[in-house]
Amino acid sequence: MADFDLLIRGGTCVTAADTFRADVAIRGGRIVATGENLGSADKVIDASGMLVMPGGIDSHVHLAQHSAPGTPQMADGFESGTRSAIAGGTTTVLSFAVQPRGAGLRESVMAYHGKAEGQSFCDYGFHLIITDPSPNVLGQELPSLVGDGYTSFKVFMTYDDMVLNDRQLLDVFDCARGCGALVMVHCEGYDAIRYMTEKLERAGKTAPYYHGESRPQVVEREAAHRAISHAELVDVPIMIVHVSGREAMEQIRWAQQKGLKVYGETCTQYIALTAEDMKGFNMDETGGKYVCSPPPRDRASWDAIWEGIRGGVFQTFSSDHCPFFWEGTEGKQNPKAKTSFRWVPNGIPGVENRMQVFFSKGVSEGRISLNEFVALTSTNHAKMYGLYPRKGSIAPGFDADIVLWDANREETISQSLMHHAADYTPYEGLRVKGWPVMTLLGGKVVCDDGRILGRPGDGHFLPRALSPFAGPSARQR
């Protein structure tokens, strides 16, 4: 009988802390040893010339999320979305269980489980989206769900069907403080966006490009400052998600320098797309392919985002995978969307490209180290969202969720390579250096050079511990 189920031999292991030559021994779905001459195994994978990194954790994806009647369906459910994830080297996703207004929180979570159960190619957990913070939700349901492993939730400062007013935000923050949950905040101001949208529409400026003009950086900066101020008042940590440029980044940096527990997330689109993309061909509808919120900015904003990444302002780099179809009446070109940018569904696919683009622009172009790459794509997500020390590193005791990475392989991102159900990729034509060549989930090879070997149902739901980053400051404890 062999010592191990699997040995990954001859690669260079990379963790958030170290880079070292070692074999990795796996038994029962977990890493049991790293080192040399470890023993025999039923199966050996030759990883020479490859980086051996923890599987990606994407803590911000939207799958099978349907929030309001009459709005378009998402292109990806759990099956296609997580298939795309493993093809891109990601082995855990955290998706959002939304509470439609008027609905109970637990019933919403249970319904969402029904969409994921038996469907997922990778492990998954749920954040909650709180749209209706009634006394029952804040007093009973939310604390009880946090106790059951749904230890983070998102609130919105915009969107008709999601927005919370300032008093509601304060109440939700207070509840999070009480139960130790981590609050993620979508920072864009509702009234400012409405004002801008109506003004642009009156001027006949309705093409997708004006989506960006309707929510400039000042709108994001104002909301970020307001959220930070409320969090300071309540004394609760917050995570400001999908930061798009300098203005919001500087708010987070300012808060951090004040000693507040304010964390930041940024995403692929904010280092790879610009507002120019939303012009499409000659200000036509094809710009709708790039419509997401906050909108992509400009190249100076890419630099600001890198400044925040390198300076430690951002803890996590996510995809904000939020896919809609391009063709057909259920997607970006739905009939209403042709009348104004305000009806173009907000969101783009990208779970498969997150690590490719970040590695290429980050590591291959010399902006960050290999270890920073692992921290920002995996380890920090695990730590921030209560999955550490089970996920997020290459060390004995961790789940054997591993990506073998060819740092020298050059590819051009194209829809023909994608495994999602969406009918386009916003990163079409982007040349990258660095590519995932094999993905393992719990020690099983689930993707080999783009060939999916895993099955729906391989992935399991992950109840999560409280985030160690979510406790209030000692100041008011």
- Do the Cβ atoms of 115 and 64 come closer than 8 Å? yes
How far is the C-alpha of 363 from the C-alpha of 368, rounded, in Å?
Answer: 5
Residue 58 vs 372, nearer CB to ligand DUC: 58
Binding mask 238-257 for ligand DUC (x = CB under 6 A): ----x---------------
Residue 277's SS3 state is: helix
Residue 14 vs 192, nearer CB to ligand DUC: 192
Q: Site for ligand DUC (CB under 6 A): which residue of 180, 295, 347, 459?
A: 347
Residue 266 vs 346, nearer CB to ligand DUC: 346
Q: Site for ligand DUC (CB under 6 A): which residue of 99, 120, 151, 346?
A: 346
Cβ-proximal residue to Zn ion, closest one: 186
Structure tokens at 83: 């298939």
- Tell me, by CB under 6 A, how many residues bind ligand DUC: 9
Asked if 355 interacts with ligand DUC (CB under 6 A), we say: no
Binding mask 285-304 for ligand DUC (x = CB under 6 A): -------xx-----------
The partner in contact with residue 349, picked from Zn ion, ligand DUC, none with C-beta cut-offs of 5 to 8 angstroms by kind, is none
DSSP strand E in 311-401: where?
A: 316-318
Residue 87 vs 162, nearer CB to Zn ion: 162
Q: Indicate the DSSP class of residue 278.
A: G
* Smallest distance from ligand DUC to CB 146, Å: 21
* Smallest distance from ligand DUC to CB 99, Å: 15
Asked if 332 interacts with ligand DUC (CB under 6 A), we say: no
Binding mask 175-214 for Zn ion (x = CB under 5 A): -----------x----------------------------
Residue 57 vs 322, nearer CB to ligand DUC: 322
Residue 96 vs 435, nearer CB to Zn ion: 96
The partner in contact with residue 346, picked from Zn ion, ligand DUC, none with C-beta cut-offs of 5 to 8 angstroms by kind, is ligand DUC
Residue 287 vs 347, nearer CB to ligand DUC: 347
Residue 186 vs 391, nearer CB to ligand DUC: 186
Q: Site for Zn ion (CB under 5 A): which residue of 320, 399, 401, 423?
A: 320
Q: Site for ligand DUC (CB under 6 A): which residue of 182, 255, 322, 418?
A: 322
How far is the C-alpha of 374 from the C-alpha of 380, rounded, in Å?
Answer: 8
* Smallest distance from ligand DUC to CB 292, Å: 6
* Smallest distance from Zn ion to CB 344, Å: 15
- Do the Cβ atoms of 248 and 226 come closer than 8 Å? no
State residue 30 phi and psi, 5-degree precision.
-120, 155
Asked if 23 interacts with ligand DUC (CB under 6 A), we say: no
Residue 41 vs 61, nearer CB to Zn ion: 61
* Smallest distance from ligand DUC to CB 162, Å: 8
* Smallest distance from Zn ion to CB 465, Å: 23
The partner in contact with residue 413, picked from ligand DUC, Zn ion, none with C-beta cut-offs of 5 to 8 angstroms by kind, is none
* Smallest distance from ligand DUC to CB 242, Å: 5
Site for ligand DUC in 52-81 (CB under 6 A): 62
Residue 94 vs 368, nearer CB to ligand DUC: 94
Structure tokens at 123: 């492990």
Residues 6+ positions from 178 with CB-CB distance below 8 Å: 143
Asked if 9 interacts with ligand DUC (CB under 6 A), we say: no
Residue 126 vs 435, nearer CB to ligand DUC: 126
User: Which chain residues interact with Zn ion by CB under 5 A?
Assistant: 186, 320
User: Which chain residues interact with ligand DUC by CB under 6 A?
Assistant: 62, 186, 242, 292-293, 320, 322, 346-347
